[in-house]
Amino acid sequence: MEDFPNEIFYEIFEYLDLYDIYKGFYNLNTRFRDLAIHTNVLTKINPSIMSNSNFKDYYQNIVKPNQKQINFLRLINPFAINIIFPSPRTILNFNSLETLILDNLHNKKFDEFFDHFMHLPNLHSLNISLTEGIKSLYILFCQIFRLPKLKYCKIEYYSENNEEPLYIDLNYNCSSIEHLIINGPFPFNTFNNLLCCLPKLKHLSMNSIVGSQMISEIQELSPIELKYFKHISLKIDYIHFGKFEKIFKDFFHRVQTLHLTIIGDKSSLDAKQYQELITSYMPYLRIFDINHEYSIGKNDLTYHDIINQFNSSFWIENKWFFTHQHRRTLGPHTGIFYSTAPYRRKYFTYYLTLNNEVCSHIQENVNSVKHLHIVSQGIQNNVLNYFPNVNQLSIRYISKKQNESTIASLQRIVPLKQLTTLFIKYTDLPVEYLIKLLYFAPNVHTLNLIELPSSVTDLKLIKENETSKCVSNMNKIENLTIRRWITFYEIPFILHFFPKLKYLKTQILTHETRKIIRLLLSETRNRIRNLLKTTP
């Protein structure tokens, strides 16, 4: 290996994570240390999950000596942010920074950083996810709009009061942003003013536009022409479509791609009003992609009567086609209406009914789907679709009575061996079902649960189960998220059942913190001791 030219190693480094390069080559000898330090990979810092001590070592030897040349920086843990930026001003040492991604950032830390973001001369891409509820969306967006060279911005937050998100009284704070993604509740009555602040906007995605019960009025700014605005994706929650018409007319003239997800508004399922808006105000529209969920009153037209209006010549000539599903057992008065191919949808929600009535609708191509979300009170054998390329699966509302046959039915919907990420979005999960599911999905590395099964404290019984032994030995789960509280008595199950675990995100009781930490440290020492015993 010593005889290989440097160019060979530089090519190898292109396929490795920077931390792997550091751990594998840095301490071999002087030559490899120089190779690791001077590789072009050092311009991009995107560390994987690691311990606090390992990250400090990585920071001292790799990040700190090269901070002036780093142009891409992604940090996913709060302790990593504190190590690299012991004070907010130290971010100015990264004067070549172009892209900054900070996950799980505390609001106070964000406020402290922001004045210094202004002085990073090349920062054009910012991706921030905040860990705490936002008190003032006005301050948040005004800060972002002050960044003079920002082209791309993705912001993730939640409001402290989701029922009444705070207003953003924006004036003409013209931003340079071209691509904006907002993942968090955004008040509809400020949407007009937001668009007025983005004259260079090309792409906008918002995952929750909501109404508000607050009485105070906000002065609406006069619309501006968005000359470059071509792509928009919106999720609209319980807002009458009539309120949105003016936005369409004032701002969407040059839009070419429109993705709409609409919850709980019957008026948004009127084919004639869409046809009029598109014909009169959106002459460049090429892609019309809608996903609409609503239950209509039984005295109204049936759900089928309403959606059949989308079968007219206008929609056919534009090659915009649609299909639908009925949700649960509510029959023809409820449904999910959505666009079909040619759109390459990567996320798909599949509603499975308990009754045997199967509504005739267009069979669609689902080969592009990577993340499947199954919503059902029971998965039966009469499933209509198979999703061959899914690697992420979310399951919600599985009935306990269905657990015996659910896995066999799941295998008729998705290739379980292909899964790498699994979300189980319901409570009262039997431990036997979790074990069997992971047995048939051995390549899952990320698991997200609402809560642990209640019987996990009976670890002795679980260890005696042959399937459990097999799953414990072979599963590859490294990332585990449990949304609800866990107790000290559930930790042994986690340590036993997920031996390759690197990252655990959950909530624990304050008075159990010390006990849990002692148990984790003790288990770590035991594993190291056993490793040394088995090493030849």
Rg (CA), the chain: 26
The 10s digit of each residue's pLDDT in 261-293 is 998 777 888 899 999 999 999 999 999 999 888
Q: What does the pLDDT read at residue 436? A: 92
Cα separation of 67 and 80, whole Å?
A: 15
User: Furthest-apart CA pair in the chain: how many Å?
Assistant: 82
DSSP letters along 470-522, please? HHHHH----EEEEEEEE-GGGHHHHHHH-TT--EEEEEE-GGGHHHHHHHHHH
Q: Please, how many CA atoms are within 13 Å of residue 273, restricted to the half-sphere of its CB?
A: 15
Q: Taking the chain, what is the end-to-end CA distance rounded to the nearest angstrom?
A: 24
Pairing of strands 446-449, 287-295: unpaired
The 10s digit of each residue's pLDDT in 30-50 is 666 666 655 555 677 777 777
The 10s digit of each residue's pLDDT in 451-501 is 988 777 778 878 888 888 999 999 999 999 999 988 998 898 898 899 888
Encoded tokens for 91 = 């971010």
User: Does residue 206 have a pLDDT over 90?
Assistant: yes
User: Does residue 183 have a pLDDT over 50?
Assistant: yes
Cα separation of 472 and 482, whole Å?
A: 18
Cα separation of 270 and 456, whole Å?
A: 50
Instruction: Respond yes or no on whether the N-terminal peptide bond of residue 536 is cis (omega within 30° of 0).
Output: no
The set of residues, in sequence order, having a beta carbon less than 8 Å from that of 271 and lying 6+ positions away, is 309, 310, 312, 315
> E strands of 275-342, at which residues?
287-295, 322-325, 334-339
Pairing of strands 334-339, 287-295: antiparallel
Is the whole model's pTM more than 0.85, yes or no?
A: no
Cα separation of 90 and 112, whole Å?
A: 11
User: Does residue 165 have a pLDDT over 50?
Assistant: no
Encoded tokens for 468 = 């459990």
Cα separation of 306 and 437, whole Å?
A: 40
The set of residues, in sequence order, having a beta carbon less than 8 Å from that of 83 and lying 6+ positions away, is 52, 55, 56, 59
Position 197, amino acid: C
User: Does residue 357 have a pLDDT over 90?
Assistant: no
The CB density around residue 40, as the number of other CB atoms within 10 Å, is 10
The residue among 214 and 293 whose pLDDT is bigger is 293
User: Does residue 8 have a pLDDT over 70?
Assistant: no
User: Does residue 55 have a pLDDT over 80?
Assistant: yes
Position 190, amino acid: T
In which band, very low, low, confident or very high, does the pLDDT at 404 lie, cut at 50, 70 and 90?
low
Residue 222 exposed, middle or buried by CB count within 10 Å (0-12, 13-18, 19+): exposed
152-170 mean pLDDT = 69
The residue among 95 and 365 whose pLDDT is bigger is 95
The residue among 104 and 10 whose pLDDT is bigger is 104
In which band, very low, low, confident or very high, does the pLDDT at 128 lie, cut at 50, 70 and 90?
very high
Cα separation of 434 and 292, whole Å?
A: 32
User: Does residue 170 have a pLDDT over 70?
Assistant: no
Q: What does the pLDDT read at residue 249? A: 95
Q: What does the pLDDT read at residue 181? A: 98
Encoded tokens for 347 = 């996320």
Q: What angle (nearest 5°) sits at the alpha carbon of residue 87, between those of residues 86 and 91? A: 95
Question: What SS3 class is residue 411?
Answer: coil
User: Does residue 108 have a pLDDT over 90?
Assistant: no
Q: What angle (nearest 5°) sits at the alpha carbon of residue 226, between those of residues 223 and 228? A: 175
Question: What SS3 class is residue 216?
Answer: coil
**Contact call for residues 471 and 496 (beta carbons, < 8 A):** no
Among the listed ranges 17-21, 204-208, 241-245, 509-513, which one has the minimum average pLDDT value?
Answer: 17-21
Positive or negative: CA dihedral 254, 318, 235, 344? negative
In which band, very low, low, confident or very high, does the pLDDT at 334 lie, cut at 50, 70 and 90?
low
Q: What does the pLDDT read at residue 535? A: 39
Helix (H), strand (E) at residue 323: strand 322-325
228-250 mean pLDDT = 92
User: Does residue 439 have a pLDDT over 70?
Assistant: yes
Q: What does the pLDDT read at residue 174? A: 84
212-241 mean pLDDT = 83
Question: What SS3 class is residue 247?
Answer: helix
Q: What does the pLDDT read at residue 11? A: 62
Cα separation of 268 and 280, whole Å?
A: 18
Cα separation of 270 and 70, whole Å?
A: 51
Percent of the chain with pLDDT over 70: 76
User: Does residue 531 have a pLDDT over 50?
Assistant: no
DSSP 414: S
Encoded tokens for 241 = 């479509």
